[in-house]
Structure 1
Amino acid sequence: MTEPHDHEVPDSSAETASRLWERMVPMFSLLEGRLDHTLTRRHDIGLGQFMALGVLAREHPESVSVSGVARRLGVSVSAASRVLAQLERAGRTVRVAWPCDRRASRVTVTDTGLDLWNRACNTLHHELSLAFGTLRFDERYAHLVARLCRTERERPAE
């Protein structure tokens, strides 16, 4: 018995999305490794910690639950908790008791963490600009980078 999709003409938009995905995964892995290395070397913070710190920095001065950080990063609560514990040990975050439920804790960024995030953000933006400038000439990624850069320019004003 043949599969029902064997004789259908592939949807061109699905094919395009699939091809973009195939190109995006290796590019993402390449960029992730470079950014993690650069952030660690220059600021003593890995990309995962930087992303968690960013969630807290964007909510500053408010605090965020561990599950809220996990949800925004797309990771498990235990993974978010481990990253936040590392940030807390480094003095970049602090856990505070939630007044409505003393069993629950929330996390907030410290002034030290906020300063680090701002400096590391500048590094991240600079490194991404350099990487995209280089990758746009790489035949494996040129089409994807062009699409990403076009999307960035076309974003509506906030």
Structure 2
Amino acid sequence: MPASPAVLLRFFDALVGAEVSLWGDADAAVTAGTSAGLGTVSALGVIAGHGDDARVQDVADGIGITVGAASKLVDRLERDGLVVRAPNPSDRRSSLLRMTADGRRVLDDGSGVLVHVLGERLADLDETTLASATEVLESLRG
């Protein structure tokens, strides 16, 4: 049986409210601890996950933004010395993103701060509950 409109709207409001609150707290803490925002750390995490084969499209897909927004974000990462672009040998229209030593440091420091914030905010939830919630949230990603 489908959920009622009231239940659906309550879920939506709770989900968005939690995301906005958690992002704000995490972004403030990461920025204070690294001088780079959470968006930067998230993008660096996507790039690190692809090794030396990350493309702008991978950043867009990984953090859920448009290719245009990802391209501007990567431009800032490059300007700040956190990544470099290298020619893509299999596609002349794109480049590969390689993290610099400064980029790795920002990612490591930012990830440490983020884990601390998440640990504090989610301390009352056990791993089984977090795993279940994660499955639900991943199923909602379109």
Query: TM-score, with normalisation over the residues of structure 2?
Result: 0.79
- 2:110 counterpart (100, 114, 120): 120
In structure 2, the partner of 1:45 is 36
- Taking a change above 3 Å as real, the CA distance of residues 122 and 108 of structure 1, as seen in their structure-2 partners, is same
Q: Does 1:21 align with 2:24?
A: no
**DSSP 3-state at the match of 1:101:** coil
Gaps of 5+ in 2: 135-142
C-alpha separation between the residues in 1 aligned to 2:40 and 2:89? 26
The one-letter code sitting in structure 2 at the alignment partner of 1:27 is A
Q: Kindly tell me: are residues 98 and 126 of structure 1, through their superposed partners in 2, closer, same or farther at Cα, counting changes over 3 Å?
A: same
* 2:74 alignment partner, one of 77, 84, 88: 84
Q: Residues 151, 38 of structure 1: CA spacing in aligned structure 2 closer, same or farther, 3 A cutoff?
A: closer
Given the superposition, is the C-alpha separation of residues 110 and 38 from structure 1 closer, same or farther in structure 2, using an over 3 Å criterion?
Answer: same
2:140 aligned with 1:150: no
- One-letter amino acid of the structure 1 residue matched with residue 14 of structure 2: R
CA contact (8 A) 2:55 2:96 kept: yes
How big is the shift at 1:111?
Answer: 2.2
Say whether residues 1:107 and 2:97 are aligned partners.
yes
SS of corresponding position for 2:93: strand
Whether the aligned pair in 1 keeps the contact of 2:86 and 2:98 (CA below 8 Å) is yes
Deviations 1:63-102 (A, max 9, x none): 2111121112111111001111111111111101111333
TM-score (norm 1): 0.72
Moved over 6 A (4+): none
Partners of 1:38 and 1:25 lie apart in 2 by 20
The structural deviation recorded for 1:37 is 1.3
Alignment-mate amino acid for residue 88 of structure 1: E
Paired residue type of 2:33: R
- Greater fraction helix: 2
Q: Larger relative CO (CA 8 A, sep 6+): 1 or 2?
A: 2
What is the root-mean-square deviation of aligned Cα atoms in Å? 2.8
Residue in structure 2 matched with residue 7 of structure 1 by the alignment: none
Tell me the SS of whatever aligns to 2:92: strand
